[in-house]
Structure 1
Amino acid sequence: MDGKNGRSMMTGLLALVTALAALSLFLAAVWRWHDNDWGASIWLVAFVAMTVIRTPHSLRNRANVVVDADKDIVEKLLLTAMFLAMMLLPLCHLGTPLFRFADYSLPDWATAIGAVLQGPFLWLFWRSHADLGRNWSPGLEVREDHRLVTGGIYASMRNPMYAAIWLSALAQPLLIHNWIGGALVVPAFAAMWFLRVPNEEALMRRRFGAEWDAYCLRAGRLWPKRPG
């Protein structure tokens, strides 16, 4: 077995172990729903919906032929931090009593705001994946025959998927009242936004040049630009 095949097998094994761990924690969280606040149940429903939206795109786009990528150590650390803060740590908190020492309390109206935010979050998350199609990737990658998507939700904003995740990240501590399982996602995603997005836009500029620059003039980063 050569080094490349060995690394591929180890990566696949790690992904399988991680998926099984996440599934086990999810089932434990469902089992312990009565021990958690009602906002946690809303978060679990949104987590399932998010997984249902993304999984078909993840499976289909594995066949993409990547022609340019930016996968340095910072990118890997940012993706790992987001996976932990947005998925694994919340499930660990809801499925076990491990982080109970870091609980805090919020009034019901604050939890209700977090619940309401799940609507625009999931719509933006779904619309972004649907409009990107084969051009979506979880990493900083450009595929063969990659095209610049400027239609649908992308006609008015360049980063609707990041906008969706901002909504989710800000809502999570309102639904999961724990500093580790709930609030930690906010600094984790802030780091991704400020460190990753400039690299992502630089990758788009390398690929699309003047077409990308013209697009940036008419579409906002996180919300639509005003005409003129």
Structure 2
Amino acid sequence: MAAPSLGEAIWVIGIVAWYVIRYPFERRARRVRIVTGYRSRSDIVGLASALFGLAILPAFYVVTGMPAAADHPASAWAVALGTIIFCSALWVFRRSHKELGRNWSITLEIRERHELICAGPYALVRHPMYTSFLLMGLAQVFLLANWIAGISGLIGFAVLFLLRVDKEERMMLENFGPQYRAYMEKTKRIVPYLY
């Protein structure tokens, strides 16, 4: 199998795995009562941007090959690196969901008996779910040999992150106060030890 086709196949498998990981948590989350919702227009725009950049546009490229004018030569080393990064993203994504358990929500919400989670990947960063999206976007650059489809994941992630992370941290400060502030002092946002 040629490098471009292999990269595309690995990207498709990764997206399917992403959904398989998320689905049971989505089902469980529906059963837990929401105490406070912080959904806003910018939240919806951020989620839509991430979905478009990390799934819709690259899927369109994989299915149609368009825009072919933005294709570039694929290489085996890029596909191998992209595969490692995507596997890392899925591991962080799964661990984040597992640690959050009943506290998980796709939008900014506080659930009944919500707890502050500081274990697992949350011991290193405050937002490991965003870390996983950053890694997915980076993997996409290496797996898809197309400048537009490849970079769209990083752009979609950036829009989501910039529109949401400050609001999410304010929500957590409102609900957990000094406990969350102390947690913020011990951890970085999405990249351990750096940012």
TM-score of the aligned structures, taking structure 1 as reference length: 0.78
Residues 88-167 of structure 1 aligned to structure 2 (within 5 Å): 88-167=56-135
- Contact 1:50–1:122 (CA under 8 A) maintained in structure 2: yes
- Structure 1: where are the runs of 5+ without partners? 1-32
- Contact 1:68–1:142 (CA under 8 A) maintained in structure 2: yes
Distance 2:182 2:84 in 1: 35
Distance 2:11 2:178 in 1: 41
Say which structure, 1 or 2, has more relative contact order (CA 8 Å, 6+ apart): 2
Q: 2:186 matched to 1:181?
A: no
Distance 2:174 2:167 in 1: 11
Secondary structure of 1:148's match? coil
Match of 1:219 in 2: 187
Distance 2:38 2:90 in 1: 27
Secondary structure of 1:209's match? helix
RMSD: 2.1
TM-superposed CA distance for 1:102, in Å, is: 2.8
TM-superposed CA distance for 1:219, in Å, is: 2.1
Match of 1:62 in 2: 30
Match of 1:78 in 2: 46
Distance 2:190 2:133 in 1: 11
TM-superposed CA distance for 1:35, in Å, is: 11
Q: After alignment, is 101-110 or 193-202 more displaced?
A: 101-110
Over 3 Å off, 4+ runs: 33-36, 223-226
Secondary structure of 2:188's match? coil
In structure 2, give the amino acid aligned to 1:159. H
- Structure 2: where are the runs of 5+ without partners? none
TM-superposed CA distance for 1:211, in Å, is: 0.8
- Call closer, same or farther: CA 1:34–1:59 in 2, change over 3 Å: farther
Task: Pick one of 152, 159, 172 that aligns with 2:140.
Answer: 172
Match of 1:26 in 2: none
- Contact 1:122–1:164 (CA under 8 A) maintained in structure 2: yes
TM-superposed CA distance for 1:43, in Å, is: 0.9
Distance 2:48 2:125 in 1: 26
In structure 1, give the amino acid aligned to 2:41. I
TM-superposed CA distance for 1:225, in Å, is: 4.4
TM-superposed CA distance for 1:169, in Å, is: 0.5
Larger-gyration structure (1/2): 1
TM-score of the aligned structures, taking structure 2 as reference length: 0.90
Deviation string for 1:8-37 (max 9, x for gaps)? xxxxxxxxxxxxxxxxxxxxxxxxx98952
